[in-house]
Structure 1
Amino acid sequence: MGREVRKYIEHELIQPFKIEKRLYQLNIYNEVKDKNSLVVLPTGLGKTVIATLVLIYKLSQGKKVLFLAPTKPLCEQHASMIKNVTTLSENDVVVVTGETCSPKKRKKVYGKAKVVVATPQTIQNDIGKRLFLSDYGLIILDEAHRAVGDYSYVKIIERYRSLNDHQILGLTASPGSDFEKLKEVAVNLGIKHVEIRNEWDEDVKPYLSSRYLQWQLIEMPVEVKEVMMKIDIVLQETLQALGRYTSQAKHLTPDKLSKKALVEIQNRMKKNLGRRGGSLYHGLTLVSTAIKLSHLRDILTSQGVEVAKKYVSKLDQDDSKAAKRIREHLVYQEIKKRLDKLRVTQPKLEMTKDIINSHLKKRDDARVMVFAEYRDTVEMLVSELNKLEKVQAVRFIGQTTTAGKGMTQMEQKQTLDDFRRGRYNVLVSTSIGEEGIDIPSTSLVLFYEPVPSAIRHIQRKGRTGRDGHPGEVKILIMKDSRDEAYYWSSIRREKKMYSYVYKLKDELEGKTLGKISVERQSKIDEYLH
C-alpha cells in the first residue's frame, strides 16, 4: 500500500521540497532540540536530517554550530547535505580537516562560518588557539559511540561542558552491545536524554520499504572437510603444547577457537615476559602459530579454496618463527598437496553467482552490494562475477595498508559515483562499505559471510530497503564453520544493543528495567529442529 502524498518542511532556512515531513524525525527533533541527547537510528533513516533540523533551530536563535565527524569523507558528506537542503551560503558551511584548511587560514574560517563541519582531531588541536568553544551553541557528534577512552570527542566535550551555555547532540546507528561502554559514552557526553527508533516503531513503519532477510545454509564439500581435519591435527598439537605455558589454552579446541581468545593469551604472556624471562618466547611463538593455523582453517571453510591457497602462498613467504614451525610440520606438507589438487566447486561462490544472476534478471535497474571480510575474497569475487553476462562488478576497499595497495579517497568517491550512475551494478566491498559514507541504496545486500558484530550486521543490512524501494538481504552460512557461530553472535548482540539502549534511556528517565535475557544459539540446526 502506497504512502500519502509527500509533505515537506517549510522554513526560511530550508529550501522548498528538500526535507520531507517524517513523523518520527519530527518527534525526535522535538524531544532533543533543547537538551543534551543521544539519537540511535539505523542507517538510512536520516540521522543527518534530524541533526540539520536541530542545527537550523540553533541558527535561528543566532547561535553557531560545530558538527564533528570522524573522517574527511564523512565531514564532506554532511556539509554537502546541509548545503543541499538549506539556504545557507558556501561560506556559511565550511569543512575543516587537516587536509582541507591550513592552520593559518582556520582562525579566519572559524570566525566567519555559521556551521563548521570538522574532524575532532583538528578541533582538539585548535581549541584555545584558533577556535573558541564558547562561540558555539551546539556541538553535533556523528558516530557518537566513539566517545570513549582518549578519543578526541571526549576531550572536546569535557572542555565544552565546562561552559555555562552548551548543548550536545550525539548520533549513532549502532552504539554497540557493551552496556558499560554505552554508559561511558553517556557520561562523557553529558547525555540527559536518549531517543531510539528501529524499523518496528509505529512512527517509522510508514516510511520504510520492505526488507526481506534470508540466510542460505551451504553444505561444506567433503574434500574441504578432509583438509580442515588435517589443519585441526596441527592446530590441536599446537594448543596442547601451548597448554604447558598457560592454563588458558588447556581447554581450547580447533572448532571452538577464536582469535580473540588467542590474542588475550598473547597479551598476557607479553606482560609476563619480564617475570618469567626467555621461557615464554617459545610460548609466544606457539600462540602465533595457533593464530595462523586458525586463520587458515577459517578462510578455507568460510571463504573458499582459492582464498586459502593464496594464504598458504603467503605462509610460504613468511619469515616468522611461527610460519617456519608450520612449514616444518609433515601434516602441513600434506595440507598443501591436497589444496593444490583440490578442484572442488566453491559452493559459496556458485551460490553468490546464482543469487546475483537471478536478481539482475528480475530488475534492469538493480544495484547489488556484496560484503566480504577479506581483500583476497573481494578480488576473487569481482573477477568471477564479471564473467557473468549482466554483471559489471567493481571492488570497494579501504586505503593502502601493509597488506597491499588499497584505494585512495578520490578513487573511493569515483567508484561510488560510478555505482550511483549505473556504470557498475555490483559493488563488492570490505568493511569500509559498512561505515557512514554515502553509498547509494541497493536492491540486494549479500553477506559472503556473517559478522559477529552487532554494529557491522546492522550497518550492512542498512544498505538496502531505503529511499522508498524494497530490498533483500541474503546471508551465506557455511555449515560446520565459524559462520554459524558468527551469525548467532550478531543476532544476540543486536538484541542486547537495543535492550541496553532502552535500559540507559529508562535509567536517565528514572525508571527501572528488568533483567535482560538473550538466548544463546550457535548452530543453524538448533534453530531448525
Structure 2
Amino acid sequence: MIKNFKPRLYQETIFNTCSLNNTLVVLPTGLGKTNIFLMVTANRLSLYPKSKILLLGPTRPLIEQYYNNFIENFEIRKEDISIITGMIKPEKRKDIYNSSKIIFSTPQCIENDIITDSINLKDFSLIGFDEAHRAVGDYAYNFIAKKYVENSNKSRIVAMTASPGDTKEKVNEVMNNLFIESIEVRTEDDNDVKPYIQETKVKTIEVHLPDDFKEIKKLIESIIKERFKFLKEIGITDSSEMKGKKDLLLLQREIQSRISSGEKDFELMKGMSVLAEIIKLGHGIELLESQGIKQLHLYMKKIFNDARTTKTKAVINISSNPFFKEAFIRVENLIDKNINHPKMLELEKLLLENPDGKKIIFTQFRDTANVIKESLDKSGLVTNEIFVGQAKKNGQGISQKQQKELIERFRNDEFEVLIATSVAEEGLDIPKVDKVIFFEPIPSAIRQIQRRGRTGRLEEGSVVVLLSKGTRDEGYKWSAYHKENRMYRILKEMQKTKKIDKIPSKNLSLKDFTEKKEEDNIKIIVDHREKANKIIRLLIDRGVKIKLETLEIGDYLLSDRVCVEFKTIPDFVDSIIDGRIMGQLKELKKYEKPLVIVEGTEDIYSMRNISPNAIKGVILASMISFGIPIYFSKDNIESSEILRMIATKEQLNEKRSFTLHNVKPNNDRELQEYIVSSFPGVGSTLSKPLLKRFRSIRNIANSKEDELKEIELIGEKKAKKIREILDKEYKDYE
C-alpha cells in the first residue's frame, strides 16, 4: 500500500507502538509524523479491509497537505480518498462518508456530523488527531475521541504533535481526552533521529531601548504605581509593588468571581475598574518595549477615541490622566521624527546581510506586521507579503483560500519574505525556509517550537530572536526555554515509566453497554445556531438524539407543546436592554408549554448598567403576563439535565407526539403563513413573499413552476419539489 518512501528506523519503532495501542507521537517538526500515520493506515486497512480511516487537522490548508501526502505515498484510487470541510453541504458530506475509504477533515465538521447522526464512527478503524496539543478544554477533538471510543469496537487513535504541553497536568489532559495508552517521544538529540535532523542555528540579537522610549515608559509606569498604591489602600492587594500580567489576570478573575456571587462592595467594584486600567497600561508598555512607537501610537489613539463614546471608567480615567497625555505627546513627537524601534534597524540589517533564500518573520501583532511591511516596502530590500488569520481586525484578514494561494506563491519563490502572525506557526509545510526571525520572544513553549520548526526541514536553517534588553522580552525568552526543557523531561519520564495519570471516571458495568436506556428513545430538535453549545454534547452523552433545524421560535423543541428559549445571564440582560426579550416571549406563547432557561452563576443585577427593577419587571412579566416560567440553572450540566428530564416526561410518560411544525397560529394571517411555511424548503422566510405574490394559498397551489421561480431564493429544484408535493396523491400506507 505504501509507495515512494522508505520508512526510517524511528518511524518503524513508533509505528509498532501505534499498531498496538492508542499512541501520542511527539516528534520535532519535519520528521514525518504524517508518514507514520500513513503506515498505521496501511496496517489497519489490512486488518479491517472494509473499514474507513479519518485524519483530522485544525485548518483546511493542513488537511489538504495530508491529502497530497497520501496521493503521493499511498496506493489508493483517487475516488476513495476525500477532503471534508465546512464548505461542503451536510447532505454531500454524508455521501462522502459512505463512498470514501480515507477521509481528511477539520474537527468542527465531524463534530457537527456526529451531532446530526450523519457519520457512523463504527465504520472507522483508525482516527488521527494532528496538532494534538489542541485537545484541551472544549475543543472538538475531545468530543470526537469520546464518541469514537464509545461507538467503535475496532478503535485505534494516533495523536501527533511537536509539543503537547509544558506541564504534566497539560500533557495528561491531552492524553486523557484522546484516550492515549502509550507515548512515543523523540527530540533532536535522540540517536535514531539525529541522522535526519538538519542543523538549526539559534541566535539572539539584543537591542537597547533609546532614552526617549525609557522616558515614555517611566510616565506610564508612574500611573501604574499610583494605581497599585490605591489597590493596597482599599485592601485589594497586600502590596503596592507592581505585579506581572499573569498575577493581574488571576486577581481580576478572583474579584469578578466575588462580584458575580453577589458581593456588592463599592471598593471591590472600584478595584475591578482600577485593575482594568493597570492591564491596559501594561499592554501599552509591552508595545513600547517589544514592538514599536507606531504600534503604541495606534493603541493610545484608540484609547482616546474610545473615551469619547464609551462609559467604561477605565478608558475614561486613562485618557484623562495628565501623565498619559504627556506620554502621548512624546510618542507623537517621535512619530514626527520617524523614530522607530531599534529592532527594525536590526531586522533590516539582517535582511541586507542575508539577501538570499526564503525567510519568515513572526510577530504577535498585526499592527507590527503592517509596520514591518511598510518599512520593507519603503526600503526596497526584499519582496514580501503579510500572512494573517481570517478574523477581520481593523479591516484586515484573509480567507483560507487566500492563505493557500499565498503559501503556494511563497513556495514557488514569487516573493522572499513572509511576514506572519501566529496563524502560520502551526503545521504549514513550506520547504527550504532558510531563516526564521522572531520579532519578539514568546513565553509559550508550544508556540516557540512551532515557530522554530518552520526552518531546518530539508536543509540547514537558522533562527534569529530579536530581544529588547532589560524588558519583559527577557522574561518571555527564559520562560519558554524552561517550559520546553520541562516538557521533554516530563514526556521522557512518562514514556520510560509508561505511567499516564488517568482522570477518575464513573465505573461502568456490562449493563451500561447491553441494556437499552430510556434516553435512547428521546429526541430533541435544536436550533442550528446552538450547535456550538456544550449542552448538545452533554445531551448526546446521555443518549438523546439531536436534530439540528432552523427554529423560528425558541432554541430547543422537546415535544409538540414544549419549546425552550435558552439564554446565558449576560445574554438575558442584554435582551432586556435591547428589547428582544418581549418579542421572544410573545412568540414562545404560541406553544402550549413554553419555558425560558437562564444559565450562569453571575449576579444578574450587576451585569450591566440597568435598574434591578427593570430585570425584576421582565421576570414577573414572563411568569404572570405571559405565563412562561423561567428556570435559572448554574451551568451546562444542569441545563442539559433539565432539558433531558422534560423531554423524557413529555415523550415517554405523556406520550406526546413530536413534530417540528406545531406552533399555534393566533389569527388567519398567521395560519396562512403557517400552512405555506410547511411546503418543502419554504419555512417562514419564504412563506410571506409567496403569499404576497399569489395572494392566497389556492393561487399558490395552482401556480406553475416558472411562476414559483419568480420568487427570490426559490430556484428550479425548490419549485419542482413544491409542485411535486402539491400534485402527489396521498397514500395512507406509505
Measure the CA separation in 1 of the matches of 2:85 and 2:102: 14
RMSD, matched Cα: 2.0
Which of 119, 127, 148 pairs up with 1:160? 148
Greater mean deviation of Cα atoms: 346-355 or 62-71: 62-71
Equivalent position of 1:382 in the other structure: 373
Query: What does 1:183-222 align with in structure 2 at a 5 Å threshold?
Result: 183-222=172-211
Greater mean deviation of Cα atoms: 275-284 or 108-117: 275-284
Which of 189, 211, 222 pairs up with 1:233? 222
| 8 A Cα contact 1:38 1:194, kept in partner | yes
- Give how far 1:439 is off: 3.2
Check if 1:243 corresponds to 2:232.
yes
Measure the CA separation in 1 of the matches of 2:185 and 2:279: 39
Amino acid at match of 1:173: A
Count of equivalent residues: 488
2:436 partner SS:
strand
Which of 110, 113, 119 pairs up with 1:123? 110
Greater mean deviation of Cα atoms: 222-231 or 266-275: 266-275
- Runs (5+) with no aligned partner, structure 2: 502-734
Measure the CA separation in 2 of the matches of 1:456 and 1:71: 16
Measure the CA separation in 2 of the matches of 1:193 and 1:47: 16
Equivalent position of 2:333 in the other structure: 341
Equivalent position of 2:9 in the other structure: 23
1:462-491 C-alpha deviation (Å, 9 max, x unpaired): 011111x11010101101111000000000
Change (3 A) 1:66 1:249: farther
1 or 2 for the larger relative contact order (CA 8 Å, sep ≥6)?
Answer: 1
| 8 A Cα contact 2:224 2:281, kept in partner | yes
Which of 285, 304, 318 pairs up with 1:297? 285
- Give how far 1:183 is off: 1.2
| 8 A Cα contact 2:125 2:156, kept in partner | yes
Equivalent position of 2:138 in the other structure: 150
Measure the CA separation in 1 of the matches of 2:29 and 2:477: 20
1:414 partner SS:
helix
Length-normalised TM-score, structure 1 = 0.88
| 8 A Cα contact 2:111 2:143, kept in partner | yes
Measure the CA separation in 1 of the matches of 2:184 and 2:431: 26
Greater mean deviation of Cα atoms: 291-300 or 500-509: 500-509
Query: What does 1:61-76 align with in structure 2 at a 5 Å threshold?
Result: 61=47, 62=49, 63-76=51-64
Identity, % of aligned pairs?
A: 36
- Give how far 1:345 is off: 4.8
Measure the CA separation in 1 of the matches of 2:360 and 2:482: 24
Equivalent position of 2:94 in the other structure: 107
Which of 417, 423, 428 pairs up with 2:408? 417
Change (3 A) 1:225 1:140: same
Check if 1:477 corresponds to 2:467.
yes
- Give how far 1:27 is off: 2.3
Check if 1:316 corresponds to 2:304.
yes
2:280 partner SS:
helix
Change (3 A) 1:246 1:503: farther
Check if 1:357 corresponds to 2:352.
yes
- Runs (5+) with no aligned partner, structure 1: 1-12, 512-529
Check if 1:287 corresponds to 2:292.
no
Equivalent position of 1:330 in the other structure: 322
| 8 A Cα contact 1:147 1:153, kept in partner | yes
Amino acid at match of 1:334: E
- Give how far 1:244 is off: 4.1
Greater mean deviation of Cα atoms: 72-81 or 473-482: 72-81
2:79 partner SS:
coil
Measure the CA separation in 1 of the matches of 2:186 and 2:351: 31
Amino acid at match of 2:13: N
Greater mean deviation of Cα atoms: 337-346 or 293-302: 337-346
- Give how far 1:386 is off: 2.2
Length-normalised TM-score, structure 2 = 0.64
- Give how far 1:457 is off: 0.6
Greater mean deviation of Cα atoms: 90-99 or 236-245: 236-245
Measure the CA separation in 2 of the matches of 1:79 and 1:245: 60
2:442 partner SS:
coil
Amino acid at match of 2:466: L
- Give how far 1:109 is off: 1.3
| 8 A Cα contact 1:183 1:504, kept in partner | no
Measure the CA separation in 1 of the matches of 2:174 and 2:319: 46
Which of 79, 97, 110 pairs up with 1:91? 79
1:26-57 C-alpha deviation (Å, 9 max, x unpaired): 22222322321110012221211111111122
1:194 partner SS:
strand
Measure the CA separation in 2 of the matches of 1:246 and 1:504: 44
Check if 1:58 corresponds to 2:41.
no
1:225 partner SS:
helix
1:469-516 C-alpha deviation (Å, 9 max, x unpaired): 1101010110111100000000000011111112222332699xxxxx
